[in-house]
Amino acid sequence: MKIVVLKFGGTSVGSTDRIKKVSKIITSYIKKKYKVIVAPSAMKGVTNDLIRKSKEISNNFISDEYDVLVSSGEQMSCSLIAGSLNHLGYKSRSWLGWQVPILTEGGFSKARIKYIYKKNIMKYLKSGGIPIVAGFQGINSNSRITTIGRGGTDASAIMLARFFNAEKCIIYTDVEGVYTTDPNTIKKAKKIKVISYEEMLEMASLGAKVMQPHSIQDARLNRIDIDVRSSFKQTSGTLITKRKNILSNKIIRGVSFTKNDAKITLVGVKDRPGVAASIFEPLYINSINVDMVVQNISSNGRETDLTFTIKSEDSVKTEKLLKKNKKINFRKIIVDKKVSKVSIIGVGMITTPGVTYRMFNALAKKNINIIVISTSEIKISVLLNRRDLNKAVNILHKEFRLEK
């Protein structure tokens, strides 16, 4: 049985008109003799409207009821798609999280899928039906509705593909695929035909908004090929797959960047064991994500300067937390909200010497100052002044011939 899982994002099912269009996409796979499992998001705007209502009731709306509330969005889109397919003469029905059932663990609003019971849907597929499985939702062991915190409906689709041994998991969205860099910023950005999970992970967590990192990680761990493509245009998309499936001589796959970083420098921190932990613990507790970290070795061995980056929106809160932190001593705090991070990503850099040099050299030639550097096996990131951002992305895109 050739099974394909089709995920449709909120914009793809954003109106009843869109749902009719999406129905045609679904039936095109039936015509190609696939067994199709559909996992839709809520219609665009619906989830936000529900969240707004919960906030009007309480700024601290209880999470178990929050999940009941927001999961109704996918219930709507599921039934509308199933209704549309019936209207076209196909056998189709909705399956809510509790009906499958999809068992989750890990608490409300941030649940993870633990197990998907296959029996009923398998029988339905064999009978020629098209199951529309509500994305983003499941139930816990107490039969209460939970929602998938990380990756939402993408995660649902990937887990469906895993449990049903699907040949493919296709993520239909409002963009045509993954690009070498942001096509809205850089005109010469090119759509990437194929990319490894690892590269995509770096692209996603560094700013490309096509998929959430956790979903890509789910796909990587379960070896599920993901095809990201547009539900609006009939064009090929981007395949996210295992490295060994990729035959390509590109050293660098893409250039990603963030716009809203802030740099915090603590000057003259008393340097003793555990001081870094004392600084970062309250930030972690307050869900403030620390990205790049640099510590200068102090000349006298007693003091050090510590620099790190966070999201701009967290800078006020971070400054407050640092100032009232009794466990640390420092002379001065400097906050710079006008920085950005640019990264080049590619598995090819593992085997190709000189990539770092080429990157720094290209930036230096344009007089772009590098503030902080951080690297991993398959990416190099640099922090720079925001005013240099566009220039930097352009020059790196060109340097590594991504427009070709």
Residue 119 sits in the site that holds a second copy (CB under 8 A): no
Amino acid at the residue 89: G
Distance CA 132, CA 308 (A): 45
Beta-bridge partners for 270 = 303
Residue 289 is a binding residue for a second copy (CB under 8 A): no
For 167-302, where are the E strands, in sequence order?
168-173, 194-196, 226-230, 238-241, 254-270, 293-296
Alpha-carbon distance of 366 to 391, in angstroms, equals 8
Can residue 56 be called a binding residue for a second copy (CB under 8 A)? yes
Residue 65 within binding range of a second copy, rule CB under 8 A: yes
Cite the DSSP H helix spans in 250-388.
275-285, 315-323, 355-365
What are the tokens at 108? Answer: 């409300």
Q: How many residues bind a second copy (CB under 8 A)?
A: 38
Contact call for residue 136 and a second copy (CB under 8 A): no
146 - beta bridge partners?
138
Which amino acid, 78? C
Shortest distance, CB of residue 43 to a second copy, whole angstroms? 9
The span of 71-79, 171-179, 198-206, 213-221 binding a second copy (CB under 8 A) equals 71-79
Smaller CB separation from a second copy, 66 or 197: 66
Angle between helices 355-365 and 389-399 (to 10 degrees): 130
As measured in angstroms, the least distance from the Cβ of 145 to a second copy is 8
CA–CA separation, 70 vs 50, rounded Å? 6
Convert residues 92-111 into a mask of x (bound to a second copy by CB under 8 A) and - (unbound): -xx-x-xx------------
Work out which of 22, 82, 206, 402 binds a second copy, going by CB under 8 A: 82
CB of 35 vs a second copy, minimal distance in Å: 20
Instruction: Give the interface with a second copy as residue ranges (CB under 8 A).
Output: 16-17, 19-20, 50, 53-54, 56-58, 60-62, 64-66, 68-69, 71-72, 75-76, 78-80, 82-84, 86-87, 93-94, 96, 98-99, 143-145
